[in-house]
């Protein structure tokens, strides 16, 4: 059994998220997803996600390609998460390319290309413009 681990916020869940999770799942037999906590997002981006943590977790957990979800409390705990979830492969979007290469001593590290022209930030922006 090849176990895949990936991470993300998955706020305003969109097609880029679906594509990433489907492609991550194809790299193994079991997909675990670490969903960033609200607090982690606030510390990273200076704002809370639109959808709160439990809802983002429930959305990701409802997908057929996802077998397990947990809350990612810190960006720096990836080594612990890899061990805890016995990951064979860590999958990240290529916006993180090179950033997690040091985990290659624990598991395979794969960066997948992001889906072009869709992002949570753009969705928020376009809703703001429509309502302005």
Stretches 60-68, 79-87, 88-96, 102-110: which one binds ligand C2G (CB under 6 A)?
Answer: 88-96
The interface mask with ligand C2G, positions 31-50, x = CB under 6 A, is -----x--------------
Give the range of 5-13, 60-68, 82-90, 102-110 binding ligand C2G by CB under 6 A: 5-13
What proportions of the chain, in percent to the nearest 5, are helix, strand and coil? 45, 20, 35
Cβ distance 81 to 34 under 8 Å?
yes
Which residues touch 124 (CB under 8 Å, ≥6 apart)? 12, 50
The SS3 of residue 117 is: coil
The reply to whether 78 belongs to the active site is no
**Binding of ligand C2G at residue 67 (CB under 6 A)?**
no
Question: Does 44 qualify as catalytic in the annotation?
Answer: yes
Instruction: Write out the catalytic residue numbers.
Output: 44-45
């Amino acid at each position: 059994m090849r176990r895949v681990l990936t991470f993300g916020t998955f706020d305003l869940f969109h097609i880029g998220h679906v594509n990433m999770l489907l492609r991550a799942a194809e790299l193994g037999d079991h997909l675990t997803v670490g969903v960033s906590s609200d607090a982690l997002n606030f510390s990273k981006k200076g704002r809370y996600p639109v959808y709160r943590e439990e809802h983002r977790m429930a959305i990701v957990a409802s997908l057929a390609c996802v077998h397990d979800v947990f809350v990612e409390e810190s960006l720096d705990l990836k080594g612990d998460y890899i061990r805890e979830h016995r990951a064979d492969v860590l999958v990240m979007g290529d916006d993180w390319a090179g950033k997690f290469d040091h985990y290659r001593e624990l598991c395979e590290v794969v960066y997948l290309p992001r889906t072009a022209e869709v992002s949570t930030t753009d969705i928020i922006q376009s809703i703001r413009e429509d309502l302005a």
